[in-house]
Structure 1
Amino acid sequence: MEDLNAILAPGMLIRHPDQPDWGIGQVQSNIGGKVTVNFRDAGKVVIDGFRIGLIPVFDA
């Protein structure tokens, strides 16, 4: 399976498609398919980019 989040870079804003209550998150790192995101309402979370496609936010 391919990395669904390969385009994400540190500083980009995203949303988790299955956790809308976490709010907007900021990508901290994206290494080997593991995306570390700091969410406003959930704190720091490491996401498997091969399983979850994060949604970029451009209008925050």
Structure 2
Amino acid sequence: MPAAPPFRSFLEPGQFVLHPDHPEWGRGQVQSAVGHRVTVNFEHQGKMLIDASIVALTILS
């Protein structure tokens, strides 16, 4: 069985996002994105490590 391709997040540092399950956290800014690990600094929650293969963060334009 061939190995699955590595997960690639489309998030980039500097982008603003919302967490779909925690709107009370407010707007977050992506600090880093390495593979499925995305560090986001949220207005009302602070810095959180998100697994982007599980949570689909909403990108704000």
Do both share a fold (TM > 0.5)?
Answer: yes
Q: CA deviation at 1:9?
A: 0.2
Q: Please give the root-mean-square deviation of Cα atoms over the aligned residues, in Å.
A: 1.8
Q: Are 1:23 and 2:26 matched, yes or no?
A: yes
Which gives a bigger RCO, structure 1 or 2 (Cα 8 Å, sep 6+)?
1
Q: How many residues align?
A: 57
Unaligned runs of 5+ in 1: none
Counterpart of 1:9 in 2: which secondary structure?
A: coil
CA distance in 1, matches of 2:53, 2:11: 13
Q: What secondary structure does 1:11 align onto?
A: coil
In structure 2, the gaps of 5 or more residues are none
% identity of equivalent residues:
44
Q: For 1:28 and 1:51, how far apart are their aligned partners in 2?
A: 18
TM-score, normalised by the number of residues in structure 1: 0.87
1:8 aligns with 2:8: no
SS at match of 1:44: strand
